[in-house]
Chains A and B, each alone.
Chain A
Amino acid sequence: MQSFTYERAASAEQAAAAVAARPDAKFISGGTNLLDLMKLEIERPAHLVDISRLPLDRIEETAAGGLRVGAQVRNSDLAADPRVRSRYPMLTQALLAGASAQIRNKASTSGNLLQRTRCPYFYDRNMPCNKREQGSGCAALQGFNRMHAILGASEACIAVHPSDMAVAMSGLDARIETISPGGETRAIPIGDFHRLPEATPHVETVLGHGEMIAAVTLPPPPPGRQVYRKVRDRASYAFALVSVAAIVEKSGDRIRSARIAMGGVAAKPWRATEAERMLAGAAASDGAFTDAAEAALAGAIGHGGNDFKIPLAKRTMRHTLAAAVESA
């Protein structure tokens, strides 16, 4: 870890300005991801702006009937909030399926969205990695890539985004509110927030330098049952091999609408829009779930070690859709 200077931000605007002022500055929230990366010198900020004590830790009702989650709301608090539990149960399930109780107590909503990949080559500075060091190559492409992406990857990078929370938020059509150094704000649909790697895997989101996440807004809960299903190598404290967030609204024996997001498959939470389209109006049957899963993974590409994720994602989606319907 390289030495750095530190300041505690007094306000959101000031925090944004402080980071914007220096190209080598970064925000720090819970620090559960950033500090690990700094210890390994994968991240080497020379200046940290601590935003963990800004008054952005509230969950408020919005006029539209949704919730506005402050950037500094802890993962554990968000999961436990009674409004979240009753109206967005999928979000609670996803949060509780992530990390450990200790980490969730520290992790912030914004930090969770911005956590970086767990690709083991990214984590080892001696290995080629385009995300860590542009143009150095991708060691995972021909290497140990069991955890890697099957959708939306490029030759430059096949890493996945590890967040569970973000997958649920994607299914819920969350919007990410930011504040820029000049004080201007914008709301970014979560689907547009993370970027696919293409030729620039080191650019992971659409945020500008110094642009700070202030909150995440959840629209009113969509009709239908919500289920988050995470498949992993051990019972807890493991990143998703694949995960599926599904909201299925039924009308009689038919599906009126469905929303599906996948985790562990791409550099961003992956909305299965084609599958959603196919399910709308279809009979709530095994056949429809199977077809939807096939469609969702139609473009999937394995890289050897992660080939199994394609059938696994299909099976998990089929089963999760069925579970969402059953509990309806």
Chain B
Amino acid sequence: MTETKTSENRPSETRNGIIGRPIDRIDGPLKVTGGATYAYENALEGTAFGYILGAAVAKGRIAEIDTAEAERAPAVLLVMTHRNAPAQPDFGPAVTPTVPEVFTRARPALNSERVRYYDEPVALVVAETFEAARAAAGLIRVRYDEEPGVYDLSGHMADAYAPKRTNAGFETDSVIGDFESAFAAAPVKIDATYRTPFEHHNPMEPHATLAAWSGNELTIHTSAQTLANFRAGVASTLRIPPERVRIVSPFIGGGFGSKLIAHADTILAALAAQVLQRPVKIALTRQQMFANAGHRAEMIQQVRLGAATDGRLTGIAHDVWAATSSFEEYCEQTAVFARSLYAAPNHATRHRLVPLDINRGEWMRSPGEAPGMLAFECAMDELAERLGLDPIELRIRNEPAQDPERGVPFSTRNLVTCMEEGARRFGWQRRNPTPGSTREGRKLIGYGMAAAIRPNYIGAATARVAIDRDGRVTARLDMTDIGTGSYTILTQIAAESLGLPISSVKVELGDSRFPRTAGSGGSWGAASAGSALHNACNALKERILEAAQSSEASPLRGANATEASFADSEVRIGQRSASLADLIRRIAPDGFEAEGSVAAGAVTQSYKAYSQHSYGAHFAEIAVDCDTGEIRMRRMLAVMGAGRILNAKTARSQIIGGMTWGIGAALMEQTVLDPRYGHFVNHDLAEYHVPINGDVPEMEVVFLEEHDDKANPLGAKGLGELGVCGAGAAVANAIYNATGVRVREFPITLDKVLPALPVIAI
């Protein structure tokens, strides 16, 4: 059984209770009936089809490329290589001067004979059909001058360097107090090194683009999480003003951070469409996505914890060495959360990078916390055992009164409640603290838990909302719905604010012609776009009220506006009321329109004055087969304190999705980089394992009642990625509890536990 509890509605103005309700996704029927058009499904008159040929080596230069046979192949329209691709800017330095430029920089394709990573595009074939393009790509002969490359992290630790910043602009290192001395003096210590592997996002929908030019205006139908980034990136690469680029992405089959920037499908479709003067469609194949659409980098993480015998932490250090690309830096903020999760007088975190000849890592669901907490929350479990303390008790003893890094109060922090509530619901007291000692038949059973933390980001966003003479509301913003439920929650926000049923509200997303938002990423979407829309609705209501009081035609003319409300499709001012539709028809036959905005979190006063994070606690029960070492989930529970819940159903879906990612990270997800050839070996979904239905157990999700009035006008906070944070560590800790084997190299596959499993008599 799954229980989902959501917060009450507390906003002041209207209380018709639409926000928070577990209503079904508004786009659901379209999706299940095939009515939602995904990028590659768009059809335009005269569309040609592209197929990308990738490099067969990971480093070197193209010595010779023979395209003659491909050009002669049936139905081929164009074979594009570095020799004939339209001019583009050079890629530029590995690090951009500012963080936003990471998203907007030019990402040229086919602009050099250099090969920087395995499967980098070396040619594009465009033909009348997809099949013809693919077949012709197989006829291109390429000779490479191969150069030796560097493809393994652990073999090149000596090349590690300190980047200038981590992703999202966080400081590379942090120091509070004197960790080394505190650690040396600590009576109880943990010094553990964990390894987390390369991972790939693998959204169900591949990266795909249909590009079409009309004069010098370019329209791009693609699968994008953040339209403004795509627009800027395409404009920089093509050297045209962003205003001439329109990005359309109404439906997205998952992104998980791999669709925050434009990739080769988009750039090459735009270039080929320009050359051919007809629409061109390109999708990356599943195999190509492994090299060309980002990944989470492999990492080595050392966690050191020093504690007094009562469990109070005296020192926390988290050092991370991650693989990066030699030509474009990406430093996941893996240790950043450790700066503010637990109290300790001495803190130190560091990020170091080892450049490899691979493509750049990208933002992958819960960047930072996902790999970081996998290591750190296991180390906490190790410490609890060393101290003879319950893991929850250890965390409670280290609960900070204010943000340990910044010294500011928390906006809300209910981590302890999450853990206590979770323990009660999960039956945590049944956990046997002695590892390897609970058996059911030929299965070893274990319980594990871990904390979750994820920062609350707010991105700058604007929304436009219009009401027409029939009282129908349309909200427009360039926000995206990547499967998370944006359409639905935004509809709920507008409906509640304007006192209308959801059937009267239409939300239109995914078009760069609409007002700009920060899109979907970093779990900032709901709070950012939602707050902008909330403010837009307030502005609209003001306009309506103003006109209602002043307009000659208004039935509410002269009413006292201080007690105005919008509810049940009516406007009420003082004792007088009128139907909203009727009112608009009389006072504004052409309807009204208004905009609302929010500023980026980092620049707001509230963000400076308060530490803003979402918190949670994960619990897992697993079973390990004594004979084979197979690890299977039995059940999971997450208790989350993440501000106001906007839709109990979509919120739960986000969390169980995240928990499933936790299972994947703990048990199976790993892309193997071959140190000899520099290619990802298991680059398809048969060999790269993500959890399938059978791996996902019963999951319970509980939301604490919270309303974070410091975060934004809605009181909501980032939620989606919180489900991942710590979930994998809870699984890993359960495996330790079941077996007594502490595997510090993820994923924890059966071969890693098998040698230590006892041979139990038959």
Give chain A residues whose Cβ lies under 8 Å from the Cβ of B676: 139, 142-143
Give chain B residues whose Cβ lies under 8 Å from the Cβ of A123: 684
Give chain B residues whose Cβ lies under 8 Å from the Cβ of A1: 131, 134-135, 138
A233 at the binding interface (Cβ < 8 Å): yes
The CA-CA distance from A223 to B470 in the complex, in Å, is 79
Whether the pair A233, B628 counts as a contact (CB closer than 8 A) is no
**Which B603-645 residues sit within 8 Å CB-CB of chain A?**
627-630, 632
Give chain A residues whose Cβ lies under 8 Å from the Cβ of B682: 120, 144
Give chain B residues whose Cβ lies under 8 Å from the Cβ of A75: none
A319 at the binding interface (Cβ < 8 Å): yes
B668 at the binding interface (Cβ < 8 Å): yes
A6 at the binding interface (Cβ < 8 Å): no
Whether the pair A315, B627 counts as a contact (CB closer than 8 A) is yes
Write the A213-254 contact mask toward B (1 if CB under 8 angstroms, else 0).
Answer: 000000000000000000111111111010000000000000
Write the A119-141 contact mask toward B (1 if CB under 8 angstroms, else 0).
Answer: 01101111100000000000100
Whether the pair A241, B750 counts as a contact (CB closer than 8 A) is yes
- Known A233-B689, A322-B762; contact A143-B135, beta-carbon cutoff 8 A: no
Whether the pair A235, B632 counts as a contact (CB closer than 8 A) is yes
Whether the pair A118, B687 counts as a contact (CB closer than 8 A) is yes
The CA-CA distance from A319 to B56 in the complex, in Å, is 45
Whether the pair B674, A143 counts as a contact (CB closer than 8 A) is yes
Give chain A residues whose Cβ lies under 8 Å from the Cβ of B750: 231, 233, 241, 308, 312
The CA-CA distance from A125 to B53 in the complex, in Å, is 12
The CA-CA distance from A232 to B751 in the complex, in Å, is 11
B761 at the binding interface (Cβ < 8 Å): yes
Whether the pair A316, B681 counts as a contact (CB closer than 8 A) is no
Give chain B residues whose Cβ lies under 8 Å from the Cβ of A233: 668, 689, 749-750
Closest residue to A120 on the B side, CB-wise? B681
B677 at the binding interface (Cβ < 8 Å): yes
The CA-CA distance from A236 to B749 in the complex, in Å, is 15
Give chain B residues whose Cβ lies under 8 Å from the Cβ of A144: 672, 674, 681-682
Give chain B residues whose Cβ lies under 8 Å from the Cβ of A3: 74, 131, 135
The CA-CA distance from A144 to B751 in the complex, in Å, is 14
B588 at the binding interface (Cβ < 8 Å): no
Chain B CB count within 10 A is highest, among A40, A139, A235, A241, for A235
Question: How close is B415's CB to chain A, nearest CB, in angstroms?
Answer: 31
B686 at the binding interface (Cβ < 8 Å): yes
A286 at the binding interface (Cβ < 8 Å): yes
Whether the pair A231, B681 counts as a contact (CB closer than 8 A) is no
The CA-CA distance from A258 to B334 in the complex, in Å, is 54
* One of B105-113, B380-388, B691-699 contacting the partner: B691-699
Give chain A residues whose Cβ lies under 8 Å from the Cβ of B118: 126
B93 at the binding interface (Cβ < 8 Å): no
Question: How close is B199's CB to chain A, nearest CB, in angstroms?
Answer: 15
The CA-CA distance from A118 to B628 in the complex, in Å, is 22
Whether the pair B679, A124 counts as a contact (CB closer than 8 A) is yes
Whether the pair A286, B627 counts as a contact (CB closer than 8 A) is no
B759 at the binding interface (Cβ < 8 Å): yes
Give chain B residues whose Cβ lies under 8 Å from the Cβ of A102: none
Give chain A residues whose Cβ lies under 8 Å from the Cβ of B687: 118, 120
Give chain B residues whose Cβ lies under 8 Å from the Cβ of A312: 628-629, 750-751, 754
Give chain A residues whose Cβ lies under 8 Å from the Cβ of B57: 126
Interface residues on B, range: 35 or more
B666 at the binding interface (Cβ < 8 Å): no
B755 at the binding interface (Cβ < 8 Å): yes
Question: How close is B358's CB to chain A, nearest CB, in angstroms?
Answer: 15
Give chain B residues whose Cβ lies under 8 Å from the Cβ of A175: none
Whether the pair A235, B681 counts as a contact (CB closer than 8 A) is no
A289 at the binding interface (Cβ < 8 Å): yes
Question: How close is B185's CB to chain A, nearest CB, in angstroms?
Answer: 41
Whether the pair B630, A231 counts as a contact (CB closer than 8 A) is yes
Give chain B residues whose Cβ lies under 8 Å from the Cβ of A124: 679, 681, 683
A5 at the binding interface (Cβ < 8 Å): no
Question: How close is B131's CB to chain A, nearest CB, in angstroms?
Answer: 7
Closest residue to A229 on the B side, CB-wise? B628
Whether the pair B695, A234 counts as a contact (CB closer than 8 A) is yes
Whether the pair B694, A126 counts as a contact (CB closer than 8 A) is no
Whether the pair A319, B695 counts as a contact (CB closer than 8 A) is no
Give chain A residues whose Cβ lies under 8 Å from the Cβ of B628: 231, 312, 315-316, 319
Whether the pair B689, A238 counts as a contact (CB closer than 8 A) is yes
Closest residue to B629 on the A side, CB-wise? A312
Whether the pair A289, B762 counts as a contact (CB closer than 8 A) is yes
A86 at the binding interface (Cβ < 8 Å): no
The CA-CA distance from A2 to B131 in the complex, in Å, is 8
A104 at the binding interface (Cβ < 8 Å): no
Chain B CB count within 10 A is highest, among A139, A233, A316, for A233
The CA-CA distance from A120 to B679 in the complex, in Å, is 11
Q: Which of B138, B677, B683, B689 touches A2 (beta carbons < 8 Å)?
A: B138
A311 at the binding interface (Cβ < 8 Å): yes
B450 at the binding interface (Cβ < 8 Å): no
Give chain B residues whose Cβ lies under 8 Å from the Cβ of A238: 689
B667 at the binding interface (Cβ < 8 Å): yes
A41 at the binding interface (Cβ < 8 Å): yes
Q: Which 8 A-B pairs have the closest CB atoms?
A: A235-B694, A308-B751, A319-B627, A126-B56, A236-B694, A322-B762, A286-B762, A231-B628
Instruction: Give me 12 other A-B pairs in contact (C-beta within 8 A), A231-B630, A315-B759 excluded.
Output: A120-B683, A127-B677, A143-B676, A144-B681, A234-B689, A234-B692, A308-B750, A308-B751, A312-B751, A315-B628, A316-B628, A319-B628
5 A-B pairs whose Cβ atoms sit less than 8 Å apart in the complex: A126-B56, A139-B676, A143-B674, A235-B692, A235-B695
Q: Which B positions have Cβ atoms within 8 angstroms of A? A: 56-57, 74, 118, 131, 134-135, 138, 287, 442, 627-630, 632, 667-668, 672, 674, 676-677, 679, 681-684, 686-687, 689, 691-695, 749-751, 754-755, 759, 761-762
